[in-house]
Structure formats: structure tokens, C-alpha cells
Structure 1
Amino acid sequence: MGWGRGEAVDGSETGWGRQAEPAPRWRALLDRARLAGRGAEHHDVDHRAEETPAPPPETLPRRAAGTGWTGRAQAVARPADASFGAEPAYRVEATYRVEPAYRVDPRYGGEPAYQAEPAYRAEPEPRAEPSWRAEPEPRAEPSWRAEPVRPPEPGYPEPPPRGRGTASVESRYALLDGGYQPEPAPAESRYALLDRGRYRPEAPPVPEPARIEPPRIEPARVEWRAPEPETELERAAGVLRRELGGPRVLAFANPKGGVHKTTATVLAAATVGSVRGRGVLAWDDNELRGTLGLRAGSARHARTIRHLIHDLAQIEILEGATLLEHLDDYLRHASDGSYDVLAGEESPRFAQRLDQFTVKRVLELLRRTHDVVCVDTGNNVESPNWRTVMQAADQLVVTTVPREDAAFSADWMLDLLHEEGMGELADNAVTLISCPTPGRTPLQDDLERHFATRTRAVAVVPYDPALETGSSIEYHQLQAETRQGWLKAASVMLEPFVR
């Protein structure tokens, strides 16, 4: 224990033929701590060992590659004598674990922080690990976004922040010693990150479209014009096109013959059918031999009302398209297809078979298949079929010509209807005056004023040479004035039923 500081650190010529290198101070402290633990009995032995030259010290092993315990001091087999050359200095952790067998002499206090004296120069470490300093992360470019930080995997140290610069050689080897394998930076980082979905290149700025000034539009001058009044013909056609709220029966009647009942029935059906296009029928209900089937429609067959009544029981039980198909076998059609015709029987003996019940069944069947049914009544006001038609009619049309006997017969029929309890039908009737000759007579004015007080309206249809012959009536061959007159007259007949 009588060593001086000079004895502990000064070297002499070693057995290796070179001057001994000064040992660091911590080795002297370690030797003192070992000697203090052995006791007084080893004092002399230590002196003898000091006097006797010891064999040359073994060469310290150099530091190998990292094993996971890099940086920790390893235990030495036996303490080296300070008289020999000092061992190369190597890194020691801040706190040194002292084995339990050694106790530090209380008389020697270890210095908390050792400062090497200028006189002693330690041998440089063979592979000194330079202090690693992380490179500052470069500033990201405006169009590049840093990728998100991934949490370190267990068992691996946290990697340093990655940048666009290249790490130094020392820092790379230091990371390898620590067990970390850095991920190589891609050569083309932008495209690589784009492939992995991490890079979001900023969209290039879209240039604003050139602003085009809209053409200046001068405000239009709005001039209010009163709507043109609807002409009388347009109004009449509109009435015929509208819904009628159900099938309607029009009865054309006058007890006197030769007053244009058949002509009026055919032309009314032709006028309404030309506007509506379908669903119009003309029926010859004359108990004597009528001529409606000859003046209207094509004679494609000779079937009449008699054939229909014969098969009425089988036909009236049918429905829909089947009913129309079977009924068509008993009807005739106009040349232009605008209306249908149910011809009357030519045999006078058949008139006795048209009783009240049969007429009602026929009217009911025609109502199911047509919208407008125009009926040409006979001259016998006492017959059951005439009275049945009057009771079932929705609109009565009193036909006459500018003659006193025809006007007297029409006036008498209106009185009869009032006596039979059908005064409402007579008051709502339409008086139709047909002109058999061109021009206007003074009697026509008197008749218009008279029947205007007896019926709802009075309509006048002009003379037409095509009707004078008494042959087949072709609606499209009539004069324009005649067609217009019938258009106005038909609209007056159906006007109360339009919706």
C-alpha cells in the first residue's frame, strides 16, 4: 500500500522491447481496490511480486464485430500489473459494475468524473466509434409530402429520420453495429412513393378560362295582344270532341213525311263521326219501309234490324271486343268509315214485332258499343217503338222545312209530348230547319221566331244540290257551306252533355 502515484503509472523497459505506455488512472484505482480487499497478509507477497519481474502481459483482444453486447466491459481473468505497459483504452459505460469480490478501500474515494492529465496520452482506440449525429432533415419540396412515420418493429432500434441526403459512412456502420438495417432509399422516390400510394402530387393549377363577356341582349319589347276570339266553327268542333258523360241517344222526329228526317239523321251522324272519328251510329227505326240503309253506308250485306233481333239473345251476352266483332256482322258502314248504320226492315209485316221491350233491348245494346246513336223515328206516334224511343232519348231534334204543313205537324207533336208527360224533352228540343231550295223565304223567319219560343234552340242548314237527288249521301261531297252549317247544328245538339 506504499505505492506512489509515480510508481503506479511510470513504466520501464518491457519484455517486448519497447517503452511501456503510461496506464490510465482508473487502472491504478482498480489495483488499489483489489489490494484493499485482500488484507494485510498479502502485503508482503505483493511487494515480492513487485520486485520480481513478471512475465510480459498478454495482448488484449481487439474489439470484434458487434455481438449485441457492444459497449460493455468484459471481466479480466487476472489483474494486470501496472508496471507493465498499459492496456489500450476502450470505451467504458458511465457506470462500471464492480464484482462482489472487490471492495473499494474507504480511504480512497473515486473521483466522479476523471479528467486526464496533459502528461498522459492514451493510445487511440483501434476502431473508435465516432459520435453519431443525425443529419438534419432536409426541407421538403413544395410538391413532395413526407411519408408517414412507421412505428419501429420490436427488437430493432428506432431508425433515424430519413431525408433526401446520403448518410455518412461512419453513421452507416454505426447503425449496422446496432443491428439496424436501413431501408435503401429508392432511386426515384417520387415515382416509387406514387406506386405505393403515398405520394400525392399536387395537381397543376388549372388556368382560369378566358372570361367571355356575354352578348348584350336588349330587353324584348312585350306587346300585349288580345287573344284572337275563337271562331264559331272552332268552338263547334271543340264541343263535338269533348266527352259527353256517357252514350247519348238523339231522336229525329216529325209525324209528317218528307221533312228531311232521314237526311238529318244521316248528316248528323256523318258530321259527329267526322270529328270524333268513331263511336257514332245511325239507326232506321221506321216501322214502315225506311230508306236510311239505302242513303247511308255501303251495302256490303243485306242484314237489317230483323236479323239482329233474331240473334239478339246470343249477342247481348257478349262483352268487349267480342261484342263489337259479332255486332259488326249486322251493321253497315259509311264509305269514309266515320259512322255505322243499322238498316230498317223492308217488309211491312215485321213492324208488328218491334214491341216496346225489344226496342229497349236494342237501344241498350247500341249504348254499350257507341257514344252517339242517331235514331230516325217513324211517322206513327201511336206505335210502341216510337214512344219507346221518345222515352229513351237524351235529345229530341224536331225536323221541318219552311212550309206551313210541316211546321204545323211539328208544333202538334210538341203538344202531344207535353200531354204524354214528356214536356221536359219537348222544351229542351232543338228545331232543325232544312232549306230544300236556295235562298231565304219570309216564312223561314216566322218559323225561327215561333220555334225559338217552343224549343231550346233553332238551327238552320242551307240547301245543297247533292241532297236534292235523294241518292246516297256522301258527306265529303257536300259544299263547304253545308258542312259548316251541319257542324254548327250538331254542336248545338250535343252542347248540353259536354264535360
Structure 2
Amino acid sequence: MEGSETGWSRPAEPAPRWRALLDRARHAARGSEQPETDRRVDDPLPPPRPLGPPEPLGPPEPLPRRAAHNGYAGRVPAVNQPGEPGYGAEPGYRAEATYRVDPAYRADAGYRPEPGYPGESPYRVPEPRRPAPPELRRPEPPELRRPEPPEPRRPEPPESRYALLETGYRPEPPPAAESRYALLETGYRPSAAGYAAPPPAPEPPVPAPPPAVADRAYQARVEWRPSAPDPEVERATAVLRRELGTPRVLAFANPKGGVHKTTATVLAAATVGSVRGRGVLAWDDNELRGTLGLRAGSARHARTIRHLIGELAQIEILEGAGLHERLDDFLRHASDGSYDVLAGEESPRFAQRLDQFTVRRVLELLRRTHEVVCVDTGNNVESANWRTVMQAADQLVVTTVPREDAAFSADWMLDLLHEVGMGELADNAVTLISCPTPGRSPLQADLERHFASRTRAVAVVPYDPALETGSSIEYHQLQPETRQAWLRAAAVMLEPFAR
């Protein structure tokens, strides 16, 4: 039935007002489907239609389906035109708006309507919009155009200092200073009528090098010239190299201990042996436990004077090279081979076996194989061993240090030698003063004057740090001043026998 609605067991009612408005909107939408070029913005609006009774309507037609988006927005029909009520408007309402959409307007390619926008379903995923063709785009004024962001610049890698060299680049050498003769070197000759440049100023003459330098082609050369040798050292060396006639025995004695008897014995043998090269021996003839074997010579074996005396009878009958080879089994040698060492016995019970007869036999055997024998005596002046060495000695060396007790002991020993009939040995003795500390002691000058009046000569050897530890004595480790002092002292000891 037209103009009425029927329901289940519900009477028919007249059609509502909104149905007429809906039909009118449908007719308006159908009429707007005309070509885009037939409509213009400035076309006059149609006159408003008079309101009248609603026309009878048939069954509702289905709503037109909205076409899919084609990438740009078409023209939107005007709404709320004058004389036409809006959806749901009251009767008698007339819209005053005359809004029209610019036909040249095209929505932006990236525009997406918000959910709830009329004509757009909030539950439908919008399809991607394709950009409008360039001929339909509306140019923007220059003042409204957004400046295009600059392309990001990639950071350039730091230039290597060797990059140019790796690519084969070679810097050109700087231009040389222009020579004053450059024009002449290139063949330029000024004309006679032209301007003549003033002659260059003459360079100052270079002094000629000395003849010695010119002969060596200006090659710098540093020459080391040894200092002039000390005349005393040369004289002492010459004395030690002379022939001594017969083997000589040097006895180092002082009844007091700690006066450098062992040190003096070792250094005297090392000094003479460094000059002569062979035939020098140091013997530790101490009745008690001596240390000469520990401070001198290499410990290639543990044989001492006790082992030599045990085979003394078999060795005495040997001659020549056989004697040297057999005796060498009981001797120790210095590190540089300049002298030999006969170590003393460490057991004190052996002292009773060194009687006067045995000591003379040992001295005679050592004289057959060596030219200089340095003997380190003991401290007991009443023993037969000590008296036998003094009687066989060719040179007595009184060792002392700049101390009153050591000097008193040495002076008392000289008096004892005069009492026992060995005054000549005491008068021809050499006093050796060893300095145990650096510097000169105030007592040293008094001791030099005193022993110079009692002995033939006085020799002073300086302090050396290599001797302070009391360990093995190495002659080459001494300071040059110490070696020179020992050369002079050894020459004084052997000078009366040198030929």
C-alpha cells in the first residue's frame, strides 16, 4: 500500500515525513550523475520547489552502492541548498548555505578521512589512493610550497695522509730560486742597443780548508789517542819483566790478623803474573785455617798442602815436564791463568805435621817449578813453620793498615827479627800500607815516616770497592788506579833482584 506501512497485526499508518525527504535526496543524487564538464560553479541554482503534500511513494528502491575509490575525489553535490531542507530538518526550514566545491580541487594523495566521515565506513579499510595525474594537479603558489628537505650527506671518510701517494700522485718540487745567471744559462744574450743589466756582485771568497782536512776529502774523523803513559808505571813494568837470577820467595808477614796479609799475597802474585805471564805461585802457609784457597784460584779440586805432603817423596824424584804435570794435580789456577795457588789445610790438627824439615822440602819443590813464590804466613811467630819461612825468604813484606794496633804489631815483629839474628831481612823489608777505606787517614803520613826509617821502602795501595766484600779476588776487576799502585809496589819488592 502506498503512503502507509503495514506490520504484523499492526494497522496501517500514513508514511512519515522522512520517507519523502529520502526519496527527494535519491532523485537529487541521480540528477548529479552528469558529465563533469556540463556543470560549472557559476551556474545558477534551480528555483526552490514549493512545498506541498507528499506525493504517494511506491516501495522503497534499493540505495545505490558506492563506487570504489579511484584515487581522486570527484565533485561533491551541493548540500543544504536554499529551498531544500536537510536530512531530518523540520518543515519550513530553508538552508542558507550556497557552498560549492571547486571543480579543480583534488584531494591530496595521502589524505585519509577520519572514522565517521560521511560517506566513509569506519569499519572499512581504505584502499590506497593513486596520485592524481599531473595535468589535473593544481599548482601551488611558490610562497606556499614547502621546501624540500636536503638529502642527507654521507660522512666522507677521513682522507689518509698517504692517499695521494697511493694513487700515484707526486707533488711537484718547489720552484728553485731563480739564479742570477738563469738568463745566461738559457742562451739569452742582450742586444748592444738594449738595456744592459748591471753585473752581479761578486761572492765573498770561501777560505780554503786546511791541508790535513782537504787531503781527507772533508770527512770528519775522530781519532782516539791514548794518554801519555805514566813513567813510573812503565818503569815498574820493565822491572817485573827482568830476569831474577834464581827463584825468589816473598814472605808476607804481620803477627796481627786482619791486616790484609792474604789480600796482599794474592794481589802481588796476580800483578807479577800479569806481567811475566807464568811461573808465579801463591802459597797459604797458615798454621790454622787459611782462606787464600777460597779467595784465589779456581776450585777445580779440593786438594791442599796435606795431599801434596802425602805424595811429596814420589814427586821430588821427578824432573822436567813430568814434575810440572805431577805437581799440577795439587795446584789451583787463577781465572786468567796468570798464577797458581797452593791452598792451605782447613783442619787445625794438620799444623803439627808442618815441621821445619817439611816446610823446606816444599819450598825447594816450588822453586824448581816457579820463579816467584808468594807465601802467606801465619800469626804464630814462635812456630817452627813461621821461622822456617822467614829464614828461606828473599824478601820480607810487612803488611799493615793505617791503625795504631796494626802498626804496633808490625813494629814489634821487626824488633823480634833483630833479636833472633835476622836483622838484615828486617832492614831490607818493604812496608806495604793498605787503605781499607776511601780517603787518606790522618795516621797514614806518620806511619809512612816511621816505617821509612825502619825498612827499605814503603808502598801504599789505595782502597778498592772490589776488595771490600771479601769474596774471590779478580785482578781485572780492580780500578786502574789500584792496578797501577800494585805495579809500583811489586816492582819495589823485586827491584833488588832484577838484572
TM bracket, shorter-chain basis: 0.5 to 0.7
User: 1:309 — aligned with what?
Assistant: 309
2:338 counterpart SS class: coil
Given the superposition, is the C-alpha separation of residues 481 and 230 from structure 1 closer, same or farther in structure 2, using an over 3 Å criterion?
closer
How big is each residue's C-alpha offset from its partner over 1:104-159, in whole Å with a ceiling of 9 and x where there is no partner? xxxxxxxxxxxxxxxxxxxxxxxxxxxxxxxxxxxxxxxxxxxxxxxxxxxxxxxx
Alignment of 1:98-247 (within 5 A): 231-247=231-247
How big is each residue's C-alpha offset from its partner over 1:211-270, in whole Å with a ceiling of 9 and x where there is no partner? xxxxxxxxxxxxxxxxx9970000000000000011000000000000000000000000
Given the superposition, is the C-alpha separation of residues 287 and 229 from structure 1 closer, same or farther in structure 2, using an over 3 Å criterion?
closer
Tell me the distance in 2 between the aligned counterparts of 1:464 and 1:385.
Answer: 32
Which letter maps to 1:373?
Answer: V
Tell me the distance in 2 between the aligned counterparts of 1:245 and 1:416.
Answer: 30
Given the superposition, is the C-alpha separation of residues 390 and 306 from structure 1 closer, same or farther in structure 2, using an over 3 Å criterion?
same
Tell me the distance in 1 between the aligned counterparts of 2:388 and 2:294.
Answer: 25
Tell me the distance in 1 between the aligned counterparts of 2:229 and 2:374.
Answer: 32
Tell me the distance in 1 between the aligned counterparts of 2:229 and 2:455.
Answer: 28
User: 1:270 — aligned with what?
Assistant: 270
2:264 counterpart SS class: helix
For residue 441 of structure 1, report the CA deviation from its aligned partner: 1.2
Matched, 1:431 2:431: yes
* TM-score with structure 2 setting the length: 0.54
1:257 counterpart SS class: coil
User: 1:466 — aligned with what?
Assistant: 466
2:398 counterpart SS class: strand
Which letter maps to 1:336?
Answer: D
Identity %: 91
For residue 442 of structure 1, report the CA deviation from its aligned partner: 1.2
User: 1:383 — aligned with what?
Assistant: 383
User: 1:420 — aligned with what?
Assistant: 420
Tell me the distance in 1 between the aligned counterparts of 2:453 and 2:388.
Answer: 26
User: 1:486 — aligned with what?
Assistant: 486
User: 2:342 — aligned with what?
Assistant: 342
Tell me the distance in 2 between the aligned counterparts of 1:316 and 1:487.
Answer: 34
User: 1:259 — aligned with what?
Assistant: 259
2:287 counterpart SS class: coil
RMSD value over aligned CA atoms? Answer: 1.0
Tell me the distance in 2 between the aligned counterparts of 1:390 and 1:463.
Answer: 28
* TM-score with structure 1 setting the length: 0.54
How big is each residue's C-alpha offset from its partner over 1:404-438, in whole Å with a ceiling of 9 and x where there is no partner? 00000000000000000000000000000000000
Structure 1's consecutive aligned runs of 4 or more residues displaced over 4 angstroms after TM superposition are none
Matched, 1:280 2:280: yes
Q: Number of residue pairs matched? A: 272
Tell me the distance in 2 between the aligned counterparts of 1:229 and 1:393.
Answer: 33
Tell me the distance in 1 between the aligned counterparts of 2:470 and 2:441.
Answer: 23
Which letter maps to 1:245?
Answer: G
User: 1:154 — aligned with what?
Assistant: none
Tell me the distance in 2 between the aligned counterparts of 1:264 and 1:230.
Answer: 23
Given the superposition, is the C-alpha separation of residues 260 and 229 from structure 1 closer, same or farther in structure 2, using an over 3 Å criterion?
closer
1:293 counterpart SS class: helix
User: 2:456 — aligned with what?
Assistant: 456
Alignment of 1:36-55 (within 5 A): none
Tell me the distance in 2 between the aligned counterparts of 1:415 and 1:230.
Answer: 37
How big is each residue's C-alpha offset from its partner over 1:283-323, in whole Å with a ceiling of 9 and x where there is no partner? 00000000000000000000000000000000011000000
Tell me the distance in 2 between the aligned counterparts of 1:306 and 1:229.
Answer: 45
Tell me the distance in 1 between the aligned counterparts of 2:428 and 2:419.
Answer: 16
How big is each residue's C-alpha offset from its partner over 1:135-189, in whole Å with a ceiling of 9 and x where there is no partner? xxxxxxxxxxxxxxxxxxxxxxxxxxxxxxxxxxxxxxxxxxxxxxxxxxxxxxx
Identify unmatched segments of 5+ residues in structure 1.
1-227
